[in-house]
Structures are given as structure tokens and as C-alpha cells.
Amino acid sequence: MRDLAEIIYEGIQEDKKYDTIINKVYEVCFKEENLYDGKIYISVILSDEEYIKEMNFKYRKIDKITDVLSFPMFEKEEIEMAKNSKEVLGDIIVCIPKVKLQAEEFEHGFDREFAYMLVHGFYHLMGYDHIAEEEKAKMREKEENILMKVGFERNDETK
């Protein structure tokens, strides 16, 4: 298996469990989107609340904690050309305390919520968004497909 993610810990304790989930999820994402045989990778920052709030304000002018931020490096139509270069597809910041809180709120496990944040961020890097309903439906379908393939599909209570 090739390195698909550079993992950085910002304000939280390193945990190999997080690394394992990241690699499992991105292996499926990269294969599904025909990126696995390339050289492109993702930078993943696992953060505390303070760091993500700071980044949310700095880049989006929103002064609050959020669960995930995505910073794509390419336009959707550029990804195919870029996949064979040792370039970062983009940066994803995941707030671990927020993921834990949401897992409790949605009454499913941390691993499932964390996997969802990773997949959600990935598809933002791939150029998908959820502002328009049609685009949102495409993005959700792709997300659910990946989560099912890695064994983190939603149960009926969390749909």
C-alpha cells in the first residue's frame, strides 16, 4: 500500500487508531476515484478545537469551531492531470473533539463519524459541494458508497 496521506497532529495526542482509519478510508476513496495508481496524496491535520476555530476564522471569516475544513489544491478538471505528480490533492483539517461530540449526538460510533468527516473532506477536494441540491445528492451518494465499502454505512436511525 502506498502513502496516501500525510498525517499531522495539531494540539491532540497522536493515536495510531486514527492513522489506521485514515489509511483505510483513503485507500477506498483513491481506488474509487482512480487516483490510487498515481502519486497524489492528501494532507490531513487532526486538530483540537482551538486550532480549527483559528483556521475557520482565518480562511472563512467564521469565528466558531467546525468539524472539518477542506482546502483543495486543484480545480475538478485539473485532478486527472495532477494525479501522477507527487502533489498534494489538498489539506483536510478534522477537529477530533467535535467528531467525538457529533458521534454522541448522532448516536453512532466515533469511527463512523471520523470516517464520514474524512470522506466528506475528500470529496470537497475532488471538487464536489453541497450547496445546490443536485450537487449535494451526487456528493452524498459518493460518500455513502465509500462508507459502505469500508464498513461504516449509516444505520436507519442516523440517516
Distances (CA, A) of 105 to 46, 99, 115, 121: 20, 10, 16, 20
CATH T-level fold of 5-150 = Collagenase (Catalytic Domain) (3.40.390)
Rounded mean pLDDT of the chain?
92
* Cα distance from N-terminal residue to C-terminal residue, the chain: 32
pLDDT at position 159, please?
35
CA distance 140 to 130: 8
pLDDT at position 31, please?
96
CA distance 121 to 142: 12
> Hey, what amino acid is at 62?
I
- Read off the pLDDT band of 3 (50, 70, 90): confident
Q: Identify the DSSP state of 78.
A: G
> Hey, what amino acid is at 102?
Q
pLDDT higher than 60, residue 158: no
Assign 4 to helix, strand or coil. coil
Region 125-136 average pLDDT: 87
Task: Give the pLDDT confidence of 24-60 residue by residue, as tens digits.
Answer: 999 999 999 999 999 999 999 999 999 999 999 999 9
- Read off the pLDDT band of 79 (50, 70, 90): very high
Contact 93, 60 (CB under 8 A): no
Strand pairing partners for 88?
Answer: 41
- Read off the pLDDT band of 2 (50, 70, 90): confident
CA distance 77 to 70: 17
Assign 88 to helix, strand or coil. strand
Contact 35, 127 (CB under 8 A): no
- Judged by phi (left if over 0) then psi (alpha if -120 to 50, else beta), residue 87 lies in beta
